[in-house]
Amino acid sequence: MPVEKRTPIPVEEAVKKIVQQTKTWGTENVAITDCDQRILAENLIATNDVPPFNRSPYDGFAIFSDDTNGASENKPIKLLVLETIGAGQVAQQKVKSGTAVRIMTGAQIPVGADAVIMLELVKETTENGQPYIEIKRKVKKNDNISFQGEDTTEGELLAEKGTVISPGIVALLATFGYHSVSVFKKPVVGILSTGTELLDVHEELVPGKIRNSNAYMAAAQVKAMGAKVKLYQHREDDFESLYESITAILNESDLVITTGGVSVGDYDYLPAIYKKLGAAVLFNKIAMRPGSVTTVASYKGKWLFGLSGNPSACFVGCELFVRPVILGGMNDKKPHCTLYKATLGADFSKANPFTRFVRASLSIGLDENVVIPAGLDKSSSVSSLLAANALIVLPGGTRGWEKGSQVGVLSWDGEGSEWPWDSPLFSKSSAIKTAEKLR
């Protein structure tokens, strides 16, 4: 049984191949109460002025400002209070010279009034059972009026298609009457773990077997990316049953993630399954650790992600390769992990013939970010999953890294990045520079 020869490509090239084939998942309408964190598939346009009418920003009295000409501490002027309006009420009477309307915050300025004086600045009196106010200062025309349209005018483009719907955007949708909104669809991701060694999470351990953790982990990852998940019962390493499963899952999913069976071992059937399907393999070997055998293929407009069976490689493959397909198809402008610069908080002594992704704990500091490799980061080490919120990216061709080095870090927390792969932090020369500095 000769071992198949594969030609590794650089990781950024692999990601580029994927990004080039990314296409939208389409759009759908969702209710305003269900649109949180979705991505706008239509422009958000102001359907009315804001404020929609001249209104009072304070509790006070709407007046005709010329009445206050010459008013002073010693010479107050007196106005008859016609009525009181709260927000949402409209004055029944016009304000004309000698009169005022008591007005609450948010209420529409009565016809005839051209200024508002705050409650605290007037003296309220009663004369012959009629309410009056006394004003001891000049009030300028337009004082304390929030004018119609001063914030936003009808027809204004507020947010473009492709914007993530934050709570602030939800407020604007409500303000402008969007009770439903067009958003980009979430893709359906089918997840299948393969491996004769796998048990289900509720099963007791038996010799030679371990519980399936990759499928649950990948499900959590892609859910966090905004996708819908279909989790399938794991399958043994058997060509026929795997082929059958995968063709069935392809019918029900936009993306199929498999874990395991993708290397060149005796029971690694995924390559043969891609071949039998006639799927177009984008790459099957990447100059990276872990996850060098990660294989990505496309088939009839759907995606096949053949992730490695080891947890670290599976995790990394999901974040680097699946993420941009899911988020890119939802038109997210920052579909890749967020790039941070951080100080390495511990030595990392392994040499890196290839680009290495080290699961790590990143602490965002006020003045400096610090990153520490999580656990052993053996590729089989599940315990390194514990504290990890980021991947340290160590360029290939470097001989270990010292504490204090400046490194590039990719994190799935944060707002994402457009294209982190050109960063100088990921170049070998950056590594050499930081090493020289430390010496």
Name residues contacting its own copies, limited to 197-256 (CB under 8 A).
197-198, 201-205, 207-221, 223-224, 231, 236-237
43 phi/psi in degrees, rounded to 5: -70, 140
Work out whether 339 is an interface residue with its own copies (CB under 8 A).
yes
CB of 320: closest distance to its own copies in angstroms? 14
Beta-strand pair 60-63/115-118: antiparallel
Kindly calculate the radius of gyration of the chain based on its CA atoms and give it in whole angstroms.
Answer: 32
Cis peptide before 51 (omega within 30 of 0): yes
Work out whether 160 is an interface residue with its own copies (CB under 8 A).
no
Residue in 5, 179, 300, 439 binding its own copies, rule: CB under 8 A? 179
CB of 183: closest distance to its own copies in angstroms? 14
Work out whether 414 is an interface residue with its own copies (CB under 8 A).
yes
Residue in 26, 52, 155, 404 binding its own copies, rule: CB under 8 A? 52
Work out whether 404 is an interface residue with its own copies (CB under 8 A).
no
39 phi/psi in degrees, rounded to 5: -115, 130
Q: Which residue has the tokens 């080290």?
A: 358
Stretch binding its own copies (CB under 8 A), from 298-306, 325-333, 346-354, 384-392: 384-392
Work out whether 3 is an interface residue with its own copies (CB under 8 A).
yes
Per-residue x/- track, 4-33, its own copies (CB under 8 A): ----------------------------xx
Work out whether 94 is an interface residue with its own copies (CB under 8 A).
no
Residue in 177, 251, 436, 439 binding its own copies, rule: CB under 8 A? 177
CB of 224: closest distance to its own copies in angstroms? 7
CB of 293: closest distance to its own copies in angstroms? 10
Stretch binding its own copies (CB under 8 A), from 83-91, 276-284, 325-333, 392-400: 83-91
Q: Round to whole Å and give the CA distance between 285 and 294.
A: 6
Work out whether 101 is an interface residue with its own copies (CB under 8 A).
no
Query: Contact 115/62 with Cβ under 8 angstroms?
Result: yes
Rounded to an integer, what is the distance from CA 4 to the centroid of its chain? Answer: 40
Contacts of 32 (CB under 8 A, 6+ apart): 170, 173, 174, 178, 179, 180, 181
Angle (nearest 5°) at CA 336 between 285 and 371:
90
Work out whether 267 is an interface residue with its own copies (CB under 8 A).
yes
Q: Which residue has the tokens 């967020």?
A: 338
Residue in 12, 39, 51, 99 binding its own copies, rule: CB under 8 A? 51
Residue in 5, 23, 70, 88 binding its own copies, rule: CB under 8 A? 88
Instruction: Choose among 53, 237, 42: nearest CA to 151.
Output: 53
Among residues 14 and 360, whose Cβ is nearest to its own copies? 360
Q: Burial letters for 338-377: b for 16+ Cβ neighbours within 10 Å, e otherwise?
A: bbbebbbbeebebebebbbbbbbbbeeeeeebbbbbbbeb
Among residues 220 and 351, whose Cβ is nearest to its own copies? 220
Residue in 15, 62, 100, 107 binding its own copies, rule: CB under 8 A? 107
Interacting residues with its own copies between 344 and 373 (CB under 8 A): 359, 364, 366-367
Stretch binding its own copies (CB under 8 A), from 18-26, 162-170, 246-254, 275-283: 162-170
Contacts of 388 (CB under 8 A, 6+ apart): 359, 360, 361, 374, 375
Among residues 15 and 35, whose Cβ is nearest to its own copies? 35
Work out whether 380 is an interface residue with its own copies (CB under 8 A).
yes
Burial of 386: CB neighbours in 10 Å, binned 0-12, 13-18, 19+: exposed
- The residue count of the chain comes to 439
User: How many residues at the interface with its own copies, by CB under 8 A?
Assistant: 111
Among residues 146 and 331, whose Cβ is nearest to its own copies? 146
Q: How many CA atoms lie within 13 A of 403 on its CB side?
A: 4
299 phi/psi in degrees, rounded to 5: -150, 115
Work out whether 45 is an interface residue with its own copies (CB under 8 A).
no
Contacts of 1 (CB under 8 A, 6+ apart): 266
Residue in 19, 119, 281, 287 binding its own copies, rule: CB under 8 A? 119
Q: Round to whole Å and give the CA distance between 86 and 50.
A: 19
Work out whether 343 is an interface residue with its own copies (CB under 8 A).
no
Q: Round to whole Å and give the CA distance between 100 and 63.
A: 5
Instruction: Choose among 39, 55, 22, 10: nearest CA to 415.
Output: 39
CB of 121: closest distance to its own copies in angstroms? 12
Query: Contact 281/303 with Cβ under 8 angstroms?
Result: no
Work out whether 65 is an interface residue with its own copies (CB under 8 A).
no
Residue in 246, 262, 388, 393 binding its own copies, rule: CB under 8 A? 388
CB of 208: closest distance to its own copies in angstroms? 4
